[in-house]
Amino acid sequence: MVAPSALVLHCDTCGDVPHRVLRGKVSGKDEVIFEGVVKCSKCEQVRSVMTREPRPIQVPIVVSFLEKSERTALEFSPDEEVDVGQELELGDTRLRITAIEVQGRRLEGALAKEVSTLWAKRTDRVRVKFSVNMGNRTVPHDVLAIPDEEFEVGDIVDLGKARAIVHHIRTAHRTVHEGRVRADEIVRMYGRVVRERTSR
């Protein structure tokens, strides 16, 4: 096994900070054991260390986004705690755990090594429902947005083939006829299609 080029380790002077690995080796079967010489990135002290940590495990995870679910796996330290509501990162997407299955039962929390399947929802994108009046009919559209992106009454939204102007925005508590609302607070936006100019 190849030794990492840097490790976050505890330095008595600087706390938990990255250390550059000057030389070292990694061994172990159930544990990952690192032995080597490291240099603190802050105070530059050089010292020998040995660290051991449990080998990470792959936990199956079902990630849902819009109507699709995807089965994949996520790496955890075996004794790491997972909880419903916890935020995780998978590549460059963000997730929130929505359910934890342990031996056929749904639990609110468990250790990673006990988990048979995790369920999660993508939280870095939300779907904003947008009802667009096309003159004689109203057509539902889904607009993808990042959760803290804001929509404002009067905004022109690109729907691919058409563009529509936001007329009012409904949230769980009120209807907004003026001003802006965060994407993750929007229940539905209402608007009408805008006539396209044929030239720029």
The residues of the shown chain that bind Zn ion, judged by CB under 5 A, are: 11, 13-14, 40, 42-43
State which residue, 17 or 99, has the beta carbon closest to Zn ion: 17
Q: How far is the CB of 10 from Zn ion (least distance, A)?
A: 9
State which residue, 42 or 52, has the beta carbon closest to Zn ion: 42
Distance of CA 94 to the CA centre of its chain: 0
State which residue, 12 or 30, has the beta carbon closest to Zn ion: 12
Own/partner pairs for 175-178, CB < 8 Å, 24+ apart? 177/153, 178/153
Q: How far is the CB of 38 from Zn ion (least distance, A)?
A: 10
Q: How far is the CB of 14 from Zn ion (least distance, A)?
A: 3
DSSP string, 67-125: TEEEEEEEEE-TT-EEETT-EEEETTEEEEEEEEEETTEEESEEEGGG-SEEEEEE-S-
Q: How far is the CB of 5 from Zn ion (least distance, A)?
A: 18
Cα–Cα dist 171/182, whole Å = 10
Q: How far is the CB of 11 from Zn ion (least distance, A)?
A: 3
Phi and psi based region of residue 194 (left: phi greater than 0; alpha: psi -120 to 50; beta: remaining): beta
State which residue, 39 or 127, has the beta carbon closest to Zn ion: 39
State which residue, 38 or 186, has the beta carbon closest to Zn ion: 38
